[in-house]
Structure 1
Amino acid sequence: MKSLRFHWICLFVLSLCLLIWYWHVIRSGFSVYIRGLPGYVKVLPKPHLKSNLLKVRCSSCAIVSSSGQLLGGGRGQEIDKEECVIRMNVAPTVGFEGDVGNRTSFRVISHTSVPYLVRQQRFFFTTEAETTYVIWGPEKNMRTDGKGKIFNTLVSLARKYPQAELYTVTREKVQECDAVFQNETGKNRMKSGAFLSTGFFTMILALEVCDRILVYGMIDGSYCSNSSHSFVPYHYYEPARLDECRMYRVHEHAKRGGHRFITEKLIYQRWATQGKLHFAFPRWKPPEN
């Protein structure tokens, strides 16, 4: 009788442990771990894999912008401590480690930055060989039927560096991001003449794969309307060139082909009220609802 009771107790404990594990895995994104993340497809699919979707989950992420706001902040070590570090386009780390860190887990790259990726391929695919690259662009450049110029370039890179983790954002995912923008602003992205920024695609990816997000180098949506704001370079690695706020205003009011940087930041402010997204440097909190 005691033996039977012990057996049932052990079975109960085992079942409880399995239930806790299952709950944890589901909460952490089971589908991302097992099947992969829809919308992000490997450039050169490997036939032996059941899924060629991006498979990743990070408990904590640092999104590092390309903004001059990072200069002088000394947040490099803080950034590198996060499980995953996400950078944009080809923003360098060499020479800026103290402010932007050294580690790179992901780079979200615009189709317009792919030529820079090619020119500096030795660095990106040897020095940063552990980095996963996620490339987005319009259908005309990213089509996979042999007529997509940028996609063809990525295929060539993938063949030259077979260990490289190169993924593209699918047409359906780009349309989904357009729908998110319209839902948040009430404006059709294409009809308004706007292009989503690399920052927008980066934020969408981070929200899908990260449990906690710390953002570095991103100002709030009202910063540039403050008359006392100072000159800050648009890119931290081009300190003597474009002023960030001036660039934001030009794009915000462009009739065609502009990124709506200020509008996007106002969207991020609303998303931050949900508790997952935090602005670490410059440190600021979204207004209370």
Structure 2
Amino acid sequence: MKALVGLFLTLVCAVVVAIVLVPLCYRAPVQLCCPAPGMRDSRTASGVRSFQGYSRVPDGKPLERALCQRCAIVSSSGQMLGSQLGQAIDGQECVLRMNHAPTAGYEQDVGTRCTIRVVSHTSVPLLLRNQPYFFQQSQDTVYFIWGPSKKMDREKMGPTYQALLKVMEKYPQMQIYTLTEEKMTYCDDVFQNETGKNRMKSGSFLSTGWFTMILAMELCEQISVFGMVSDSYCREQNHSSVPYHYFEKGRLDECRTYLMHEQARHAGHRFITEKAIFSRWAKRKKIIFNHPSWAGR
């Protein structure tokens, strides 16, 4: 009799536990797979994403925009001269240019559109000299300015940041972002991870092309690079001699400049090293190099 009572009590306990736990087990997956109300809907409806590391002038808000399906990165290299690539470049959804590289007078080779312009702090004064061209006529261009904290600091009002504030006062419709100190550190860390060398200790300066490529890899589904040579190009015997910048003819030779910087012990842009890294990235991301054409490896 006692055995039957014990068995009955055991069955009762099992039923009670099942009644309590089964609803919890079914409820948990629903909570995990369903995001908070509004999050999924707004992302799906607009496609807008938030990108940390890019801080808007003057309010400090992060960059928010939709991804670009097809992007063109236009090199400032003399390789662009005579390329007749303007139409192909303008046909991309988003066009990225660097520093103070102009389009006026070079439309057939480099195109006319400029969705994004990535600018070094050292080139900001060059933009300021031609404000009607870069700011008044380029209201639809989003500017990304990079530089060291002493130049870009918002709280201590670094000189470059002060200049950007004045631009915004004069052209309030402009979209200008600065790279945060955390983003600058991240870009240094990427360089060290790829090369095994500390950027500062190795006497290296990252180029505007480096920051442009990192930005493009975040914003773009597919990247077409125009006018960038491979890392081995300047060591080939029959490489062409072109100006360092397509808009500064007769000044610096591109390959001589690259080789000089690669060998510099201090304050050198490692253009060739960066291109070798871009080549490896092309295997992970859809990056196509045009004029000259070469494949990632």
TM-score by length of 1: 0.85
> Distance between the aligned counterparts of 1:152 and 1:192, measured in 2?
31
Q: CA deviation at 1:229?
A: 1.1
For residue 143 of structure 1, report the CA deviation from its aligned partner: 0.6
The answer as to 2:140 corresponding to 1:140 is: no
Query: Corresponding residue for 1:222?
Result: 232
| Aligned residues of 1:41 and 1:54 also touching (Cα < 8 A) | no
Show structure 2 runs of 5+ residues with no match. Answer: 1-39
**Structure 1 moving runs of 4+ over 4 Å:** none
1:231 aligned onto 2:267: no
Q: Equivalents in 2 of 1:207, 1:275: separation in Å?
A: 8
Report matched runs for 1:32-47 at 5 Å.
33-34=48-49, 36-45=50-59
Q: Does 1:62 align with 2:76?
A: no
Residues 42 and 54 in structure 1, CA contact (< 8 A), matched pair in contact too: no
Distance across 1 between alignment mates of 2:290 and 2:258? 21
Q: From the CA coordinates, give the structure whose radius of gyration is larger.
A: 2
How many percent of aligned residue pairs carry the same amino acid? Answer: 54
Corresponding position of 1:8: none
Alpha-carbon shift at residue 230 of structure 1 (Å): 2.2
Match in the other structure for 1:120: 130
**Residue pair 1:60, 1:82 contacting (<8 A) in 2 also:** yes
SS at match of 1:135: strand
- Equivalences for residues 7-46 of structure 1 within 5 A: 33-34=48-49, 36-45=50-59
Deviations 1:210-255 (A, max 9, x none): 0000000100000011011121110000121110010001111111
SS at match of 2:102: coil
Seen in structure 2, the aligned counterparts of structure 1 residues 52 and 176 have a Cα distance that, compared at 3 Å, is closer
**When the two structures are aligned, how many residues end up with a matched partner?**
256
Whole-Å separation in 1 of the counterparts to 2:200 and 2:296: 28
When the two chains are superposed, the root-mean-square deviation of aligned CA atoms in Å is: 1.7
CA distance in 1, matches of 2:51, 2:124: 23
Q: Does residue 182 of the first structure (1) align with residue 175 of the second (2)?
A: no
TM-score for the superposition, normalised by structure 2: 0.83
User: Aligned pair 1:259/2:269, yes or no?
Assistant: yes
CA contact (8 A) 2:51 2:62 kept: no
8 Å contact kept, 2:118–2:208: yes
Residues 67-94 of structure 1 show CA distances to partners (whole Å, capped at 9, x for unaligned) of 0011111000000000000000010000
Q: Secondary structure at the match of 2:176?
A: strand
How far the C-alpha of 1:275 sits from its partner, in A, is 4.2
The structural deviation recorded for 1:146 is: 3.4
**Superposition pairs for residues 244-255 of structure 1, below 5 Å?**
244-255=254-265
Establish whether residue 76 from structure 1 lines up as the match of residue 86 from structure 2.
yes
Alignment of 1:144-155 (within 5 A): 144-155=154-165
Further displaced range: 186-195 or 116-125: 116-125
Q: Deviations over 1:165-215 (max 9, x none)?
A: 010011100000000000000000010010100000000000000000000
* Distance change >3 Å, CA 56–CA 45, structure 1 → 2: farther
CA deviations over 1:129-171 (Å, ceiling 9, x no partner): 1101000001110011234010111011111111000100111
2-structure distance, mates of 1:147, 1:129: 25
**Residue in structure 2 matched with residue 213 of structure 1 by the alignment:** 223
Structure 1: unaligned runs, 5 residues or longer: 1-21
Conservation of the 8 A alpha-carbon contact between 2:135 and 2:174: yes
